[in-house]
Amino acid sequence: MLQLPTSFRPPMFLPEGHSQTIWPSFYRKVNMSLPPQEMAIGTPDGDVLWADYYKHPDPRALAVLCHGLEGNSRRPYMLGMAKVLFDADFSVVAWNYRGCGGRMNQTPLFYHSGATYDLEQVVAQLPGDEDLPVLLVGFSLGGNLVLRYLGEQGEAAPKRIAAAAAISVPLMLADGAEYLMQGLSKVYTRNFLKSLRQKIAQKAPQYPGHYRVERLPKVQSLRDFDEHFTAPIHGYAGADDYYARASAAFVLEKIARPVLLLQAQNDPFLPPSCFPQPANELIHRLYTPQGGHVGFVQHGKAKSFAEEQVLNFWEKLCITCSNRSDKSA
């Protein structure tokens, strides 16, 4: 097991999990040194996944960034990770799920926590040198997606995937949905549901009869949304079936690549079941007392703790050293 730090120091004006979650989402600004190229990734069912591609002139590796629920490739946490990795000589692909990033997709499907078939297409169609090692990075829902993908693939995962990092991950989806209905966490649920309802209303005219829009008034929780929309749209029997078949917690032991799992114990999204102690020695756990949800703002530093530790994890694995020396020989 790699030796990893156990905590970090957040700013004094962010004293607890909610402030550490909300402040960076609204107030953090990230200036990328290079504008991205737009990248279109086709899917077998005729849809398109849109991504931002930050092409490094001399990359030592390629990173794939996966956002959270109702996020997109331009969220501050995505831009922050893209900047840190690009500045460390990575090319970066930050992709948007179906219906995210300001474009409505062109098939009945949306996205969900277990849509590993879309991540598979992103990996299969990555640009640049096929010999470049790949780092997968997922935030929240995207972290579950990355871990679920690696668990389903097991030893058969593409050889170029060298490692992964998963940050603020609701590993047990059923527990996470219930936890977000408690206390102040209900505020996050209301915001998610407002956006999700709007997307269903926008999508329904494209496919008359496919979406039961009359059920929207019944949706008062994420479980309700998953029961009435996520599950039937994507072929699950219901929310319980979806949670059982999409939660990454059930496949952690099958992962065959080194993984950094970074969770904050004051995360208002994560119940205790999202802090497992897996026997799989490839999963390097870093559970910190502070950090919030996808926050990890550090006192006196521009980089978030998550960005710093993902890069440190990569370096400690010595993945990049051999690749760079091979290129310069």
CA 328 to chain centre: 33
User: What tens digit of pLDDT does each residue of 254-287 get?
Assistant: 999 999 999 999 999 999 999 999 999 999 999 9
Instruction: Identify the CATH class of 1-172+248-315.
Output: alpha beta
Return all residues near 131 (Cβ < 8 A) that are at least 6 apart.
160
Q: Are 319 and 61 in contact (CB under 8 A)?
A: yes
Give the amino acid at 215: R
Query: Which residues on adjacent β-strands are paired with residue 94?
Result: 52, 65
Note the pTM of the prediction, 2 decimals. Answer: 0.94
* Every domain of the chain and the residues it spans: 1-172+248-315, 173-246
Query: Which stretches of the chain drop beneath a pLDDT of 70?
Result: 1, 6, 318-329
The confidence score (pLDDT) of residue 133 equals 96
Task: Specify the pairing of strand 134-139 against strand 61-66.
Answer: parallel
Locus of tokens 């290129």: 327
The confidence score (pLDDT) of residue 6 equals 65
